[in-house]
Amino acid sequence: MTGHRTDPPRPEDRGGGAPALLPSLLEDSAEDLYENAPCGYLSTLLNGQIAKINTTLLKWLGYAREELVGLRTFSDLLTAGGRLYHETHFAPLLTMQGAIGGVALELRAADGTRLPVLVTSTVKCGADGRPQLIRTTVFDASDRRAYERELLRARREAEVERERLQRLFATLQRSLLPPSLPAVPGLEAAAYYHIASRDRVSGDFYDVFQLTADRWGFFLGDVCGKGAAAAAVTSLIRYTLRAAAVYDFDPVTVLDTLNTALHRESHGDDPRFCTVIFGILTPDGDGFSVTLASGGHPPCLLLRADGAAEYQTTPDGLLVGVFPGATFTARRIRLAPGDTLLLYTDGLTEARTAAGSTPDGRYGEPALRAFAARLAPAGAAGIIAALAVLLDGFGDGLGDDAAALALGVPSPRARGALTG
Amino acid sequence: MGRSGVSTRNHVKVTGREDGPTVMLAHGFGCDQNMWRLVAPALARDFRVVTFDHVGSGRSDLSAWEAERYAALDGYADDVLRICRELDLPEVVFVGHSVSAMIGVLAAIREPDRFAKLVLLVPSPCYIDDEGYRGGFSRADIEELLESLDSNYLGWSAAMAPVIMGNPDRPELGEELTNSFCRTDPEIARAFARVTFLTDHRADLAKVGVPTLVVDCLQDVIAPPEVGAFVRDQIPGSRLVTLPATGHCPQLSAPEATIEAIASFAAHR
């Protein structure tokens, strides 16, 4: 409708001077309206027997009145599946509610063809309030049904596509993470990974890999963004870090190389950067020596054999890939027997929880440190298991992806237990 | 699955005489325990009446529904036994409507001591026609039913899910909605339809060792008269009563006759 409006002609405007005819008089027969209404009418007794049916419905179905009235039931007109639906849903609801509307059924015409209809029924009660008969209106719904079928088909297709996509994401995700952590003699390593949504690829990543006979590299980080673009950047980061570490064991040089690579790949509207901690592990007496550098990543936590838990901050260390001349600084840590180093992404500390330690209700670094202090001393597997329980308890509060990597030197007692 | 309690899981309601014999009313495929609304109050005068919603129906805990568990009637029978155990119900007179008749049969075979009697209201151990057996339907008919379910559940997820999941932000939706007695998640409805109409439990009937009353209707397009007679013939010592009723839900279409049939059999020692 547009804003244009035409006034209906007034009776006296009509030519010929004939007596004015009220439009309502054109529809002067209730009987004719019933018989030839643009919808089907049907009245049935409480046992379903057809008591009255209008001409429109008879025409649609191709039956003569005397073939149906007093002889057949409403149920007889339905397909077998429709009859089941009628008996298990329609009839009970009609009895309980006295009315039911907009039910989709199919009627069987005399020639076997099917007529999709929308059915509305009400129970007519007598003066004593007891149900007497059922009045039913039947609308031709062929077009609507075709449309709905298309909707259903599209929905099923969308569901199948979504599953396919989720499988693809899961495969892609697996390809970005080590299938298992390598065995490092004298070191216990464990990792945790939580993906917030099955509908996209996470931007968190980690790895542990061997460089020489007695040297291992490890990293854990978080790519800016999520999804396919983040997956591509993660892939770039992984092979750059692994390749750079082969040529130079200095974490600062490795992060410099990554910074250059990411910055070169970065375009104005497609920034590519990440936060990451990269480190080198070398055996050192009864423990390990760790050299690590951070590029804008939350500090790792060191759980000491004596029960202490402290963040290991690194000076400098900006986001990797943003500034061409970013500088990184390395830090050395010694892992003695019983010590464990925990790296994590901010999905963990940013989770919303009642147990939070920040003013805006996030879990926060203070709470994580307290959590670690309660655990310490603890082995890598033990810490990761406890973290998994903790994160599970966050429920919906854990809105983002989260990853954690623990590297620990088993204490002599634990080692004895492992080997003995 | 925790023991979160059957009262929430199955929305169990206990009414009637505390010291009376226990009558447990189990609804069939399609609706929920509201199906017993014309029958339960009368039975409550003499009996302790237990009604519940099968998991996936009515106001049961939809999150407790698992495709695997409810892919066979045994999952539902297991729930019935669990309700009996948790409420410590002894000598239960189990009244099962439609598919719940077979659920009762399975439960009574597993723990016969739990049940005093079985009332099978319009039962059918097998809806699909087979050689020498008329169940009344073909596989294609059941596929048609699934289609009917689909077309009548269009838009369900959007409109109904917040209500059934108890969305706290939209309390105005909490009120009882039209047709809500017979609505549930479409996926669950499909699964329940399949397990109801496509399983064959004819061989289980002979294993029933509990006194059983079979009740059918004069005219029922879902459970034709020969099916009622078949069930009577297969369950040792069972009796068949045919109610002067039409349709598949005599507890709604002929409540007085249904009450009479249940009460006289349940009270009879």
What is the CATH number that goes with domain B6-267? Answer: 3.40.50.1820
Instruction: Give the span between the Cα atoms of A273 and B37, in whole angstroms.
Output: 65
Per-domain residue ranges of chain A: 27-140, 176-419
Report the half-sphere exposure of A265 (CA within 13 A, side-chain side): 20
Judge: A48–B147 Cβ closer than 8 Å, yes or no: no
Tell me what pLDDT residue B4 has: 54
Interchain contact A104–B (C-beta under 8 A) = yes
Judge: A84–B145 Cβ closer than 8 Å, yes or no: yes
Distance of CA A355 to the CA centre of its chain: 26
Of A407, A417, A347, A348, nearest in space to A378 by CA: A407
Interchain contact A1–B (C-beta under 8 A) = no
Tell me what pLDDT residue A10 has: 53
Q: Is the pLDDT of residue A322 over 70?
A: yes
ipTM of the complex: 0.87
Task: Tell me the pLDDT tens digit for each residue of B1-10.
Answer: 344 578 889 9
Judge: B137–A84 Cβ closer than 8 Å, yes or no: yes
Instruction: Give the span between the Cα atoms of A172 and A167, in whole angstroms.
Output: 9
Per-domain residue ranges of chain B: 6-267
Tell me what pLDDT residue A312 has: 93
In Å, how far is B152's CA from the nearest CA of chain A?
Answer: 6
Fold of A176-419: Phosphatase 2c; domain 1 (3.60.40)
Which neighbouring-strand residues pair with A118? Answer: A104, A139
Judge: B222–A84 Cβ closer than 8 Å, yes or no: yes
Going by pLDDT thresholds of 50, 70 and 90, the confidence category of residue B178 is low
DSSP 3-state of B210? coil
DSSP notation for A143-185: HHHHHHHHHHHHHHHHHHHHHHHHHHHHHHHHHTS-SSPPP-T
DSSP 3-state of B54? coil
Interchain contact A146–B (C-beta under 8 A) = no
Average pLDDT rounded to a whole number, residues B48-72: 93
In Å, how far is A356's CA from the nearest CA of chain B?
Answer: 24
Catalytic (active site) residue B113:
no
Tell me what pLDDT residue A327 has: 87
Q: In the structure, how many helices (H) and strands (E) does chain B have?
A: 10, 7
Going by pLDDT thresholds of 50, 70 and 90, the confidence category of residue A341 is very high
Which neighbouring-strand residues pair with B137? Answer: B128
What are the φ/ψ torsions at residue A229 (nearest 5 degrees)? -65, -45
Task: Tell me the pLDDT tens digit for each residue of A362-404.
Answer: 888 999 999 999 998 999 999 999 999 998 888 777 778 899 9
A-chain residue closest to B99, CA distance: A88
Average pLDDT rounded to a whole number, residues B12-18: 94
Instruction: Give the span between the Cα atoms of A246 and A257, in whole angstroms.
Output: 12
Going by pLDDT thresholds of 50, 70 and 90, the confidence category of residue A194 is confident
Catalytic (active site) residue B220:
yes
Chain B, residues 67-126, CB within 8 A of chain A, namely: 98
Of B138, B141, B148, which has the smallest distance from its Cβ to A105's Cβ? B148
DSSP notation for A342-411: EEE-HHHHT-B-TT--STTSB-HHHHHHHHHHHH-S--HHHHHHHHHHHHHHHGGG--S-EEEEEEE---
Of A80, A88, A148, which has the smallest distance from its Cβ to B29's Cβ? A88
Of B106, B3, B125, B6, nearest in space to B61 by CA: B6
Please identify, in words, the CATH class of the domain defined by A27-140.
alpha beta
In Å, how far is B19's CA from the nearest CA of chain A?
Answer: 30
Question: Higher model confidence: residue B263 or residue A152?
Answer: B263
Judge: B247–A91 Cβ closer than 8 Å, yes or no: yes
Q: Letter for the amino acid at A286?
A: D
Catalytic (active site) residue B98:
yes
Task: Tell me the pLDDT tens digit for each residue of B155-166.
Answer: 554 444 444 444
Average pLDDT rounded to a whole number, residues A340-354: 90
Q: Other C-beta atoms within 10 Å of A119: how many? A: 23
Question: Higher model confidence: residue B148 or residue B128?
Answer: B128
Tell me what pLDDT residue B160 has: 45
Interchain contact B6–A (C-beta under 8 A) = no
Q: Is the pLDDT of residue A31 over 50?
A: yes
Of A47, A148, A152, which has the smallest distance from its Cβ to B246's Cβ? A47
Going by pLDDT thresholds of 50, 70 and 90, the confidence category of residue B170 is very low
Q: Mean pLDDT score of chain A, rounded to an integer?
A: 87
Name residues whose C-beta falls within 8 Å of residue A1's C-beta, 6 or more positions apart in sequence.
none
Going by pLDDT thresholds of 50, 70 and 90, the confidence category of residue A229 is confident
